[in-house]
Structure 1
Amino acid sequence: MSSCCTPQTVDLDPTPRIPGKVKTVALVGPPNSGKSTLFNRLTGLRQKVANYPGVTVEQHFGKMSGIDRSDLTLIDLPGIYSLNSYSEDARVAIEVLTGKMPGTPAPDAVLLVLDSLHLERQLMLAAPVLALGLPVLLLLNMSDVMEARGGVVDTLALAQELGVPVAKISAARGTGLDAITHFLNQHSANSAPQLELPVVGNARSYRQWATGISTRTKYKAPISSTWTRRLDSVLLGRISGPLVFLAVVIAVFQVVFTLGQPLSDGMQELLNRSGDAVGHLMGSGWMESLLIDGVWKGAASILVFLPQILLLFLFIGVLEDSGYLARAALIADRVMRTIGLNGKAFIPLLSAYACAVPAIMATRTIENKRDRFATILVTPFMTCSARLPIYTLMIAAFIPNKHILGNFFGMRAAVMLALYLLGFVAALATARLLKSSILKASAAPFILELPQYRVPTLRSLGLRLFDRGMVFCKQAGTVILSVTLVLWALSHIPFGTSLPDSIIGHIGRWIEPAIHPLGFTWKIGIGLLSSVIAREVIVGTLGTLYGADPATQSLSLQAALRHDLTLGGAMALVVFFAFAMQCTSTLAIVKRETNSWKWPALQFAYMSVLAYVGALLTNVLVSRIF
């Protein structure tokens, strides 16, 4: 067998495998190669999602019931371009393929999926995968599209060059999958390819090798469709590209915010009514309070975010599966790199205006770990919808309803806009600080294969939404419920006492000297403590403490606040909320995404200090000016 460079033996120290039938199969391929579509079809959507130990990368695995091989387990590895260990995804792939990932069985065979539309470049991944010494079936996905556009490849010659079987398939249409069944039925766990390949990590050798293979197998790249060329001329244009990108992200933000919030409100109302119904059946008492105010409302604080989460991931799924998200990241990268972030950070930051929880989950599209962590840490600065209740309350109570630009722009709107800008500036400044200090790193290469434009499938989108919803409820929910129960206990002990006389009430009076310079009273202090679970909780807490009339709670609470707070204290409070991490859900999801309590603890401490200093300066300045 010929090769364009000196062949060398590759040794990744794979775990020895016992000869016998294939039981576990790994699915490997570059991003946007159609690997996930194939996985869904092979497993018939019957799959499980979990996290690899010690990392935040998810593993998808399922029985191959889609091709009547339910005795086989398929592991879907992260989409990678190479097995270089600089990324977390690549490290996970190497550890799984070599049998070193705890809790994950070593694969007996590999299905290597490559996009036939970009075969010459994607063949670079085949070299290190084949060098592992596992039985491999090379699947040329989207072959139907390739041939329809004039592309050509000699699969027999390619199989002879690589020493492994090669099959043309279409994961979207489900054609050619019988080759997978034949491969798995005919191969045993020790029928590995006998081939020596270039050294792992030598990208130049891989490129030369892939070019030589493509030439000898008479590969002819397909011509891009007319629509692809026309769309790219607009979507990637120097002027039109950013304009379209801006319109898309604004549309996503607007829909998630305007449609997601009413859905979340409806979910909240449904959960509240259900809780009230259960409470009436149980009667009054501490047990009823524990289950309703603690467990039920704790669960409600989790489920209320689901509409926004599902909406956000629906849009991200449509953008990603259609092929536009890769192009949007390419456009945003030009701007985001000026503050040290990756281009893929823009959409999570923008979506955080609706809710930081799904936005942080959306950072999984950022491959570089340090860039991803920096994005996670600054995301809560963006003004989420949970801040609006306290913003609206304080602005209505203390800011006069005067116009400053004719009849189109009022003083209250100006203050609200200033608070949004304040959070955005804080996020950018913090990102710059992080990328120049604890998360400092050399600029990672922005490797991106622009996929073909496709129509997203309902099957793929539905699976994505189901996964995100289940992961959020199971992982973040346990932490949120625990904190909710602790706060309930602190607000009811000693039993039978009012909130001011409870433990949390005493804590509020104890911290009053610390918050007095900010212009806050002990009641505001209790509101701050109660709002740790969720920012909007402070409005209800203050209403209870001030004894606001339920029928006119907003107006009577505004009057009570004007009596207890100065303008400086009121503005200090909204600045405090603009900076502070008052959201247990966000802390829980940060812990879940970073796989450590260190980062959410650092995030909470930094944002709290910034909130205190910002509120202090605001109170002093406003009090002196007014």
Structure 2
Amino acid sequence: MSCCTPVSIEIPPTPRVPGKIRTIALVGPPNSGKSTLFNRLTGLRQKVANYPGVTVEQRVGKLAGIGRSDLILIDLPGIYSLSSYSEDARVAVEVLHGTMPGSPAPDAVLLVLDSMHLSRQLMLAGPVLALGLPTLILLNMTDVMEARNGEVDSLALAQELGAPVAKISATKGTGLDAIGIFLARKNAEIQRPLELPIMGNAASYRQWATGVSTRTKYKAPLSSETTRKLDRVLLHRIWGPLLFLAVVITLFQAVFTLGQPLSDGFQAILDQVGVRVGGLLPPGWIQSLVVDGAWKGVSSILVFLPQILLLFLFIGVLEDSGYLARAALIADRVMRSIGLNGKAFIPLLSAYACAVPAIMSTRTIENKRDRIATILVTPFMTCSARIPIYLLMIAAFIPNRPLLGEFFGMRAAVMLGLYLLGFVAALATARLLKSSILKASSAPFILELPQYRLPTLRSLGLRLFDRAKVFVKQAGTVILAVTLVLWLLSHIPAHGGSFPQLANSFIGKLGLFIEPVIRPLGFNWKIGIGLLTSVLAREVIVGTLGTLYGADPATQSMTLQSALRHDMHLGGAIALVVYFALAMQCTSTLAVVKRETNSWKWPAVQFVYMTALAYVAALATNQIISRFF
């Protein structure tokens, strides 16, 4: 029976007892399509909070997607078993048993299993069915499984498990009518299998799952010939890492080769908007506030949107195609050598977008010391907030010259070097932690390698839209507020009705006060103010510099790049990006570290260590470059 059938559900004959379903728990292993199904069933009408006393997120929504707004769906964390020591597994067990404070006890369970790997994923079915709750087993991605000559007898599986089984596709939304039929059976008590293994015994569950697969004649789908050929090359011990390096180099070169003209064109548009807006306002302080303060600050960060979106487009293609999972295996060899848990790779990889969700994703790491070590080094990874200052300083100070022919230029090399600097700093710090205060035994790294597939335009489009929305929202809120405050502080105290010189303003005096501390790094007082404001969020520094240089009559007519070249030399410019590569400058990250570790000790240690490391590295960079260039 295909998942494209309007209703695909097999229910063995079972006795019935009175009961009413109000709350349903959605359970499944990671990457089984559970989150996609939750979003489709709730129609995105959901709320997100934290379970009381723990850091695991709670997603709850009404089943509006199938016309049952009277029912509540609880999305439990993705887990492989109910006996794991991870916080996610503990929360799932407590919710299923009805002992989690603030969460209603579920009346039924929707168990999502990936039919592509059904033999292994059935290990979760045993302990879930052992709970005795009415359970509907949803075999996701059976359309892909059957297209690749895989087979599963859903009726035989339902009779074997004593629970209804439905074939679905969460991505396409097919087969979901089965859920409505299951939930309409208000008086159903699902018959449990006669010989379930002992709860908590992983070996017996593995043996039981294998037996169920054999008796129901499950046939795993074949890997395509293309996948096997690609993996022989991409996972090769020598060619794999070399090809991965080539992919990364190509990515960064494309950001400048394709992205720079797009940003230049966008800059011209933003400049024209600023001129037109200024022409609509009367000359004076209002015009200066709007144009020199707000618009120059916000537009100086918005101009990098095309390059940032281009970078995330390439990363999205690599992720959706299945290649990044292979990169995880390549990187695992390096991570094991420094003592990091293999599961730490996923948080470190996702930190290239933002450190906040990356730190939250460390909850899957069972060992507490491994988890804290991963949390402490994650902010070293180059997040998207660092990209604007990287692009600004590289475009201003690094000539656009070829380095390895026309394929790889100096700008891309510097950008790649900054990413590598953050990665190496993370590995070195992890090695230091794991060999001293956070020693722990190593754990195996288990990863399902997905089939190679073509990314969909819808998936990539949603990813870019979400990234653009976050970026623009940041520019329109935090950066806008900071630039307005900076403009005000750069124009007070007024004397005789006229604005003071920038250096004599309140912000100028503050900058000159801290300048002796940062002067050895090659920074002037304006950069110092940028360092202070960027503690809120790293990208704020670009808006800060745009506002300060826009308020200075000596540089008001220059572009921001020209103004920086007027005030800085190469040593200070490179020192600045090195500082940003290593420093902890994100209040949101510090807050989530405090929440995840339940202590202010670790974020304080993290902030002091990263700031000191950034200062020393920037000082050394400026001194070396200034001496030889």
TM-score normalised to structure 1 length: 0.75
User: Mind listing any 5+ residue stretches in structure 1 that lack a counterpart?
Assistant: 1-18, 563-569
**Contact 2:56–2:87 under 8 Å retained in 1:** yes
**Does residue 608 in structure 1 map to residue 611 in structure 2?**
yes
Matched to 2:540, the amino acid is A
TM-superposed deviation, 1:82? 2.0
Match of 1:325 in 2: 324
Match of 2:6 in 1: none
In structure 2, which of residues 491, 510, 517 is the aligned counterpart of residue 514 of structure 1?
Answer: 517
User: Mind listing any 5+ residue stretches in structure 2 that lack a counterpart?
Assistant: 1-17, 366-370
Given the superposition, is the C-alpha separation of residues 553 and 167 from structure 1 closer, same or farther in structure 2, using an over 3 Å criterion?
Answer: closer
CA distance in 2, matches of 1:336, 1:556: 42
Matched to 2:381, the amino acid is T
CA distance in 1, matches of 2:103, 2:65: 22
TM-superposed deviation, 1:120? 1.7
CA distance in 2, matches of 1:552, 1:296: 13
Map 1:456-535 → 2, pairs under 5 A: 456-465=455-464, 487-488=486-487, 490-494=489-493, 496-518=499-521, 522=525, 525-526=528-529, 528-529=531-532, 534-535=540-541
TM-superposed deviation, 1:510? 2.0
Match of 1:575 in 2: 575
Matched to 2:554, the amino acid is G
CA distance in 1, matches of 2:329, 2:559: 51
**Contact 2:108–2:135 under 8 Å retained in 1:** yes
CA distance in 1, matches of 2:556, 2:134: 73
- Can you list the C-alpha shifts for 1:43-78, whole angstroms capped at 9, x where unaligned? 4x5444635357776555554444343444444444
Map 1:65-464 → 2, pairs under 5 A: 65-99=64-98, 106-147=105-146, 149-187=148-186, 191=189, 194=192, 197-198=196-197, 200-255=199-254, 259=258, 281=280, 283=282, 311=310, 314-341=313-340, 357-358=353-354, 367-368=364-365, 369-370=371-372, 372-380=374-382, 384-390=387-393, 393=396, 425-437=424-436, 440-464=439-463
Given the superposition, is the C-alpha separation of residues 460 and 22 from structure 1 closer, same or farther in structure 2, using an over 3 Å criterion?
Answer: farther
CA distance in 1, matches of 2:309, 2:212: 44
**Contact 2:421–2:581 under 8 Å retained in 1:** no
Matched to 1:331, the amino acid is I
CA distance in 1, matches of 2:412, 2:324: 33
TM-superposed deviation, 1:21? 3.9
Identity rate of aligned residues, in percent? 64
- Can you list the C-alpha shifts for 1:440-465, whole angstroms capped at 9, x where unaligned? 54333312122334444445555555
Given the superposition, is the C-alpha separation of residues 341 and 575 from structure 1 closer, same or farther in structure 2, using an over 3 Å criterion?
Answer: farther
**Contact 1:487–1:530 under 8 Å retained in 2:** no
Deviates more, 1:149-158 or 1:338-347: 338-347
**Contact 2:293–2:550 under 8 Å retained in 1:** no
CA distance in 2, matches of 1:520, 1:150: 63
Matched to 2:211, the amino acid is G
Given the superposition, is the C-alpha separation of residues 138 and 406 from structure 1 closer, same or farther in structure 2, using an over 3 Å criterion?
Answer: closer
Paired residue secondary structure (1:550):
coil
Matched to 1:588, the amino acid is S
Deviates more, 1:595-604 or 1:218-227: 595-604
TM-score normalised to structure 2 length: 0.74
TM-superposed deviation, 1:137? 0.3
Aligned CA-pair RMSD: 4.9
- Can you list the C-alpha shifts for 1:120-151, whole angstroms capped at 9, x where unaligned? 21111112222334321011223344445554
